[in-house]
């Protein structure tokens, strides 16, 4: 076993809180957040609302809860929620909108750069007919994780929201990695969120806070989402301990994301040279690198061999994901590439 520190590229959620975050957490001013008395949570919520260009904010324990309370607040019970077939909301949140919320999800196909065909959005919005559910909400995701972490630029966000805006249907943005999108495009987050009613943004991924997301939107919607958060058991007491790290996520961590993106690109360009490994380099613009593997390679075996070299990645039989974050520097990237090449070169990744 390698004695060097583990390089954890399984997810950007593997980014540990920084030393400054730990200090801020230890000395955070706190109060009861359920009654709105935690000054540090209140400060985080106001900051997040400002950075993302909305009226009010809500601190939630996770991105999944932020998405769910947004759906509950915006889409009426019994309505249909439109979301991408590659989206986290449709595929990786246990169907919470339906299971917990009584809202069905109808998927739209995500194109390879993450977006929907605008005509498909229009076609999916239901006519008023007694047989149909009403269309209650359109959900977008930026960056679009499963499409390679691609950022959707401001023109695309304007285009993607146009029909919903025209027809008065609210739009929720799963902006778990909106920070990465803004950094990659070199624009303020507000350019990307302007046409969305609500935005959920993770503090606990590339920004390295240990816990939490923010949901931002109109004050009335956020007040409704706050009630839903309580319903789901997400009301927290002295959560300022966590919010203190979230504040530093916003103030200190966004500037470093461009370096994560550069490192992701280095990994992508290295692994794509290996026979049997395919990476759509066009999509590698932020901190995620998805590779698909030919039939002669097995992702699980590659990952197991790399783990023996102290490098952890996410893998499944026909693919792998590397997720960059501040705790993996240029040396870490060198180690990851070397471990990958050794795993494949030594035949450890060959499919059984």
Looking at the DSSP assignment, which residues form a beta bridge with residue 198?
A: 172
Q: DSSP for 198-251?
A: EEEEESSSTT--SS-EEEEE-HHHHHHHHHHHHHTT---SSTHHHHHHHHHHHH
Task: Quote the least distance from Cβ 88 to ligand PLP, whole Å.
Answer: 3
Task: Quote the least distance from Cβ 286 to ligand PLP, whole Å.
Answer: 12
Nearer to ligand PLP, 42 or 314 (CB): 314
Burial degree of 330 (CB within 10 A; 0-12, 13-18, 19+)? exposed
Nearer to ligand PLP, 88 or 228 (CB): 88
Name the residues that contact ligand PLP, by CB under 6 A: 62-64, 88, 141, 145, 174, 176, 202, 204, 213
Task: Quote the least distance from Cβ 176 to ligand PLP, whole Å.
Answer: 4
Report the residue number whose CB is nearest to ligand PLP: 63
By the 8 A CB rule, do 19 and 210 touch?
A: no
Nearer to ligand PLP, 313 or 344 (CB): 313
Task: Quote the least distance from Cβ 186 to ligand PLP, whole Å.
Answer: 21
Tokens found for residue 31: 């109060």
How many CA atoms are closer than 13 Å to the CA of 116, on its beta-carbon side?
A: 29
How many CA atoms are closer than 13 Å to the CA of 29, on its beta-carbon side?
A: 7
Q: Would you call 187 helix, strand, or coil by DSSP?
A: coil
By the 8 A CB rule, do 200 and 70 touch?
A: yes
Which residue, 136, 127, 128, is CA-closest to 106?
136
Rounded Cα–Cα distance for residues 265 and 224 (Å): 41
Nearer to ligand PLP, 211 or 268 (CB): 211
Nearer to ligand PLP, 193 or 213 (CB): 213
Task: Quote the least distance from Cβ 200 to ligand PLP, whole Å.
Answer: 7
Task: Quote the least distance from Cβ 168 to ligand PLP, whole Å.
Answer: 26
């Amino acid at each position: 076993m390698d004695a060097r520190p583990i390089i954890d590229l399984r997810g950007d959620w593997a980014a540990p809180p920084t030393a400054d975050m730990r200090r801020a957490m230890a000395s955070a001013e706190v109060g009861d957040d359920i009654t709105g008395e935690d000054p540090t949570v209140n400060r985080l919520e106001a900051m997040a609302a400002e950075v993302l260009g909305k009226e009010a904010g809500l601190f939630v324990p996770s991105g999944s809860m932020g998405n769910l309370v947004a759906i509950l607040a915006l889409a009426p019970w019994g309505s249909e929620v439109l979301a991408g077939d590659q989206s986290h909301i449709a595929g990786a949140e246990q169907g919470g909108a339906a299971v917990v919320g009584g809202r069905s999800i109808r998927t739209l196909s995500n194109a390879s750069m993450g977006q929907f065909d605008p005509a498909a959005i229009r076609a999916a919005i239901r006519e008023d007919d007694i047989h149909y559910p009403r269309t209650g909400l359109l959900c977008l995701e930026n960056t679009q994780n499963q499409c390679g972490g691609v950022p959707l630029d401001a023109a695309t966000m304007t285009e993607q929201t146009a029909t919903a805006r025209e027809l008065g249907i609210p739009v929720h943005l799963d902006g778990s990695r909106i920070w990465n999108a803004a950094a990659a495009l070199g624009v303020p987050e507000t350019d990307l969120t302007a046409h969305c009613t609500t935005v959920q943004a993770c503090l606990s991924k590339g920004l390295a806070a240990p816990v939490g997301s923010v949901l931002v939107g109109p004050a009335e919607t956020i007040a409704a989402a706050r009630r839903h958060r309580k319903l789901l058991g997400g009301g927290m007491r002295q959560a300022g301990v966590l919010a203190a790290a979230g504040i530093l996520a916003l103030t200190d961590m966004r500037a470093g994301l461009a370096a994560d993106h550069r490192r992701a690109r280095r990994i992508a360009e290295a692994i794509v040279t290996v026979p049997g490994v395919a990476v759509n380099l066009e999509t590698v613009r932020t901190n995620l690198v998805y590779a698909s593997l030919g039939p002669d390679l097995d992702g699980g075996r590659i990952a197991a061999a790399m783990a023996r070299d102290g490098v952890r990645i996410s893998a499944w039989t026909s693919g792998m994901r590397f997720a960059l974050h501040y705790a993996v520097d240029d040396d870490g990237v060198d180690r990851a590439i070397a471990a990958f090449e050794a795993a494949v070169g030594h035949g450890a990744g060959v499919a059984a």
